[in-house]
Amino acid sequence: MKRFVLSVMAALPFMLFAGCGWSNASSHTAPAEAEKVAEAVAEKSGKDQIFEPGSFENPQVCAGCHSDIYEQWAHSMHANAWENKWYQPDYMMANEETDGLTEMLCGPCHAPIAARTGLLPPADGSKFDATSRRGISCDFCHTVTGVAEMANMGHISEPGNTKRGPRGDGESLYHEVAFSEIHTKADFCGSCHMVIHPITGVHIIDTWEDWKNNEYGKQNITCQNCHMTPTPGVGQNPGRSAGMGAQRDNIAFHTFTGGSSYIQDALGNEKQAEMAREFLRAAAEVKLSEKVADDGTLELTVDVHNVGAGHKIPTGTTYIRKLWLQVEVMDGNGKVVYSSGHIDDKNNVDPDAVFFRLLFLDAEGNLTGKSWRAHAIGYDRRIPAKGKDSETYSIKLPGKGEYTVNTRLMYRSFTQATLDEIHERTGDSLPPVTSVEMAAAQTRVKF
């Protein structure tokens, strides 16, 4: 088997970033943390992590016996992680701006099998085989033997006939089965759901460390507990994982549902889209308190509670997603007398709305949602797990009467501006982004 040493590969993005003129990187001393990540991955998993193409099996092979799990996974965002039409433009732009230096940063998470079998680079995926194109698939996850570092895909792979999972007591005619503790732990997910910029050390995605430090992490309510069951929250899914397998109380569900209803709808996966909306609705609650002053000023306080997510909302690519508040006040005739957070006729959200999200600062100090340009965090307003965020609106009521107040917490997977920009750059028309109501509350006030 042809083998390279991982230390070179793992340190590659770091070394390349440090050596180029991109984002003033050449004059930049990498913070200890970023350096630590690159070095630790190299050191701890000092195994040979480049394998022959074909070392990982095609998910179609597993489908033969694990048909339910295959169906669930095949419609998941993991299966779509590379071919994703919404990922590709961002990835390509990163590559153009960094002269191809990001391919071995983004690739290991979005196309781990390609990265581990030397089919990436080149960045455009032209060397990919059929297995590589299917993103994060069965045989990548089930041949992991450990996690070397908790960021930037620090998994250790041992592809082969032994499939590792949460039990180890099953029998399969096709493969060996082995118990693997890491598969039952949040760290298994966290090593990919934790992205650290290799030069600036900015925590681009921080889902795992956020979880680790909050109540869910402390009580060890894992990512799997919520995301590998059919419904939001901790759930059960009794059955068999393979036709010939044993009956079990709870079979790990493989849809890995998150908030991506827009993409799932666009792909024609209605069931998955509805599951994503269910997750979004389970995450939040909105509560109102209001007071009208003698001069007719309505003081409206909107409390947004994160009741269902094991991490901040939003989490993940929070610099791409958008959560915001819509507030509308109507008089007795149904006429809108105040509005914030509405969507205009170009499908853009009111720029003055209250936003819950994160944005970076680039080298010039401008706000950006482009992860590879991140030099620092520029804006961070997210709602912590089991916590809340409040906003008070001062609204001048136009006259005596009764008013209805509607508030909604809204979610979008992308900003319309991002999609418009993709259209301008590539000519690709992606469907207009849709909005999901995560929570709502209504009240009536009198002046």
Q: Which of residues 30-59 bind ligand HEC (CB under 6 A)?
A: 57, 59
What is the dihedral angle through the alpha carbons of 222, 228, 232, 236, rounded to the nearest 10 degrees? Answer: -100
CA distance 393 to 288: 11
Site string for ligand HEC, 59-78 (x = CB under 6 A): x-xx-xxx--xx--x---xx
Among 49, 55, 132, 257, contact with ligand HEC (rule: CB under 6 A): 257
Strands 176-179 and 162-165: parallel
Q: Name the phi and psi angles at 404, rounded to 5.
A: -105, 135
Record the tokens describing residue 332, joined without a space.
């007795």
Return the residue nearest ligand HEC (CB atom): 316
Residues 376-405 that bind ligand HEC (CB under 6 A): none
113 is a site residue for ligand HEC (CB under 6 A): no
Instruction: Using alpha carbons, select from 311, 80, 53, 45 the residue that is nearest to residue 152.
Output: 45
Count, residues in the chain: 447
Check residue 361 for interaction with ligand HEC (CB under 6 A): no
- Does the footprint of ligand HEC cover residue 12 (CB under 6 A)? no
110 is a site residue for ligand HEC (CB under 6 A): yes
Q: Which is nearer to ligand HEC, 263 or 410 (CB)?
A: 263
- 3-state SS of the chain: helix, strand, coil percent to 5? 30, 25, 45
Interface region with ligand HEC, contact rule CB under 6 A, candidates 44-52, 243-251, 337-345, 360-368: 243-251
Q: Which residues contact 364 (CB under 8 A, 6 or more apart)?
A: none
- Minimum Å gap between C-beta 285 and ligand HEC is 12
Let me know: does 67 contact 59? Beta carbons within 8 Å.
Answer: no
Residue 411: which H helix or E strand, with range?
Answer: strand 402-412
Please list the residues that pair with 291 across neighbouring strands.
299
If one asks whether residue 302 binds ligand HEC (CB under 6 A), the answer comes out as: no
* Least distance between ligand HEC and beta carbon 426 (Å): 14
Q: Counting contacts by CB under 6 A, is residue 360 touching ligand HEC?
A: no
Count of residues binding ligand HEC (CB under 6 A)? 103
Closest approach, Cβ 65 to ligand HEC, in A, equals 3
**Could you tell me the smallest distance in angstroms from the CB atom of residue 296 to ligand HEC?**
37
Binding mask of the shown chain, residues 120 to 139, with x at each position contacting ligand HEC by CB under 6 A: ----------------xxxx
Alpha-carbon separation of residue 186 from 180, 212, 225, 343 (angstroms): 13, 9, 9, 37
Q: Tell me how far apart the alpha carbons of residues 252 and 254 are, in angstroms, rounded to a whole number.
A: 6
Q: Which is nearer to ligand HEC, 336 or 376 (CB)?
A: 376
Q: Pick the binder of ligand HEC from 152, 157, 269, 326 (CB under 6 A).
A: 152
Taking CB under 6 A as the rule, does residue 324 contact ligand HEC? no
